[in-house]
Amino acid sequence: MQGYSRRALLASAGALSTSALAGCFGSGGGGNEEDCSGDQREIEVEPAGDPESEVTVAAYEDFECPGCGQFAQQVYPAAVADYVEDGEIAYEHRDFPVTVGEEWSWRVPNAAFAVAEEAGEDAYYEFIKGVYEFQGEYSEENVTGLAGELGADEEVVGEAIEEEPFCEQINESISEAEDRGVGATPTVLVNDQQLEAPNAEELREAIESELA
């Protein structure tokens, strides 16, 4: 994954410490799942950082949610990235599409899993952070273009966007999120601590409390 320096981010992290993210809310009590069709498959993606760490940070995100874009582009680099780089935590991305009717809430995670199949887990994590640059203007061209830059076959990723072969896996992620009490995005679980739309300071404090 792309490296971020705590020192280089000190000023920006301070600015982000108390700012609130705009969360997106699910239907509550289920109903976010999609009807899947066509051939389905699954891929297991290992956590970034140290998969054996006693501290797991799991981020539930929706690629159409503006707050998730803020989390990925601002809070993650300021509050999480160095713990991943240093191998202190296990970091997991979890899909939780809640913006009903927004097709890219589903198309982007399908593309991400195709990237993982094609180019590996490092490319997957780079993709799920970088793709937010196109939020509000997602298209097959820019999503597959990013995938290609990361070493994936653009045609294969384009097929995943159109056919959604990981739909059932995303539904499983939604069910898991609801079982854990997640009802909005971005929601971050630091072990058993649940933080809804956390700012950088809140998330760093939660991580540090688990590492102590």
Query: In CATH, what number is assigned to the domain containing residue 130?
Result: 3.40.30.10
Alpha helices (runs of H) in the chain, residue ranges in sequence order:
10-16, 66-70, 76-79, 81-85, 104-119, 121-130, 140-149, 154-163, 167-179, 200-211
Q: What is the mean pLDDT of the chain?
A: 90
Assign 25 a pLDDT band (cuts: 50, 70, 90).
confident
Number of domains observed in the structure of the chain: 1
**Shortest CA distance to 130 belongs to which of 113, 150, 114, 116?**
150
Residue 2, in any domain of the structure: no
* 62 within 8 A of 97, measured Cβ to Cβ: yes
Q: Give a yes or no: residue 121 inside a domain.
A: yes
Buried b (16+ CB within 10 A) or exposed e, 54-66: ebbbbbbbbbbbb
Going by C-alpha positions, the residue among 73, 44, 35 that lies closest to residue 186 is 73
Classify residue 54: in a domain, yes or no. yes
The domain containing residue 59 runs over which residues?
10-211
Q: How sure is the predictor about 20, in pLDDT bands with cuts at 50, 70 and 90?
A: low
Residue 16, C-beta contacts closer than 8 angstroms, at least 6 positions apart: 74, 75, 78, 199, 200, 201
- Give tens-digit pLDDT for 153-184: 999 999 999 999 999 999 999 999 999 999 99
Asked if the model's pLDDT at residue 22 lies above 80, the reply is: no
Residue 5 lies in a domain: no
> In this structure, is residue 198 part of a structural domain?
yes
Whole-number pLDDT of residue 11: 38
**How far is Cα 185 from Cα 173, in angstroms, rounded to an integer?**
13
Whether pLDDT at 21 is above 90: no
Cα angle for residues 180, 91, 125 (degrees, 5° grid): 115
Domain assignment of residue 100, yes or no: yes
Residue 30 lies in a domain: yes
At residue 16, does pLDDT exceed 60? no
Whether 3 is in a domain gets the answer no
